[in-house]
Amino acid sequence: MATPILIEDVESHASDWSAIADRIRGSKNVTVLTGAGVSAESGLPTFRACGLWEEYRFEDVATPEAFARDPELVWRFYNYRRAMAMSAQPNDAHRAIAKLESSMTVPFTLITQNVDGLHHAAGSREILELHGNLRRVRCTGCKKTETTEEKLSELPRCECGALLRPDIVWFGEALTAATLLKAQAAAARGGVMLVVGTSAVVHPAAGLIEIGRVRGAFLIEVNPAETEATHLAHAVFRGPASRMVPALVERVTA
């Protein structure tokens, strides 16, 4: 395929910026897919950048096997992540995505792999959270879910007596079918797909980019580094989300 448009700063490439903004403005459908990179500038480490908590790899504490073996360890990890997410503030990229949604008159879908709740905090309304949310807990007995920002104990229990777990999709677990189907349907509508701050290696989330591409979407990537999705992109903004996304949304909504 042809070389993608590559934009590395907000001051130059004026004609490319407006061509891409026109694409979004004229599209019959807009899908935004975000990953940990969109929250990096809110102070939440990305998975690839750190991937370690104490001496444990994320993959070793974010699994159903780890929870069955040592729920206290897993809850310590999640209480730490909950505290970080709840003290973080959305950044200009989250806010720009919310602004883009409110300016749209065509179908708009925000799909996130993040579990930090920062898109909600920034004012996005419809969000497909593929991997759950740190603020939610789920009972391992009665399956009831609840949103709580309170500090939890290291072995929190439901009123039915069973252990609570984070309402997160762990490694090796299936995504909620309804959420995944909605995300796939949005990707399959084509139009424009804006992919922000994801390494595009975690499936099935990364597969949404391929669905968009085969359904003819104009694919835009925002990421300071090359990713598994770069070769599929029509346009690449090679820079931090908090600078590139607001600059793009400003041009779309101007």
Residues that bind ligand NAD (CB under 6 A): 35-37, 39-41, 44, 46-48, 113-116, 131, 197-199, 202, 222-225, 227, 240-241
Catalytic: 131? Answer: yes
Residues in the chain: 254
Torsion of the alpha carbons at 145, 147, 153 and 154, rounded to the nearest 10: 60
Nearest to 31 by CA among 212, 230, 155: 212
Binding partner of residue 181 among ligand NAD, Zn ion, none, CB under 5 to 8 Å per kind? none
The contacts found for 66-71 with CB under 8 angstroms, 24 or more apart, are 67/165, 67/170, 71/155, 71/163, 71/165
By CB under 5 A, what part of segment 158-177 binds Zn ion? Answer: 158, 160, 162
Q: Which residue is nearest to ligand NAD (CB)?
A: 37
Minimum distance between the CB of residue 56 and ligand NAD, rounded to whole angstroms?
A: 14
Minimum distance between the CB of residue 166 and Zn ion, rounded to whole angstroms?
A: 15
Q: How far apart are CA 35 and CA 115, in angstroms?
A: 9
- In the 8-state DSSP scheme, what is residue 232? G
Residue 64 or 141 with smaller CB distance to Zn ion:
141
97-136 footprint of Zn ion as x/- string (CB under 5 A): ----------------------------------------
